[in-house]
């Protein structure tokens, strides 16, 4: 879940998020209403402003729906589970993918030792 983002940039408009994630703006707006957890801030002119955490969440939703073939209901449930786990571990959502990859690699190394 490593996104190639400009290092100095903290906030992104919906068009930028669409280009970065490969999700069309109307789908992003739909996900805001459907999932209720993607909630970008709005500027005084009512433009959506997404932060890095929002982008990580959008990429996870996209992965669940498009790659893992979850239904909307199933993806909502899984996101809630991830959020609960995140609170328990107190790890930023955007860093969880990196940690999971590290754990998986370490488990594979252990398996190789045992075989």
pLDDT, tens digit, 9 for 90 and up, residues 70-94: 999 999 999 888 888 777 766 666 6
Transcribe the chain into DSSP letters.
------TT--EEEHHHHHHHHT--HHHHHHHHHHHS----EE-TT--EEEEHHHHHHHHHHHIIIIIS---HHHHHHHHHHHHHHHHHHT--HHHHHHHHHHHHHHHHHHHHHH-
Q: Predicted confidence band at 112 (pLDDT cuts at 50, 70, 90)?
A: confident
Residue 1 pLDDT more than 50? Answer: no
The pTM (predicted TM-score) of the whole model is 0.69
Q: Check whether 3 has a pLDDT greater than 80.
A: no
pLDDT of residue 80: 87
């Amino acid at each position: 879940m490593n996104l190639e983002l400009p290092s100095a940039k903290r906030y992104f408009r919906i068009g930028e998020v669409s280009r970065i994630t490969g999700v069309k703006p109307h789908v992003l707006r739909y996900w805001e209403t459907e999932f209720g957890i993607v909630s970008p801030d709005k500027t005084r002119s009512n433009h959506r402003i997404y932060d890095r955490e929002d982008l990580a969440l959008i990429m996870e939703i996209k992965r669940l729906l498009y790659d893992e073939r979850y239904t909307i209901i199933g993806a909502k449930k899984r996101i809630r589970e991830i959020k609960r786990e995140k609170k328990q571990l107190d790890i930023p959502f955007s860093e969880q993918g990196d940690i999971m990859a590290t754990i998986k690699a370490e488990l594979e190394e252990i398996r190789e030792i045992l075989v």
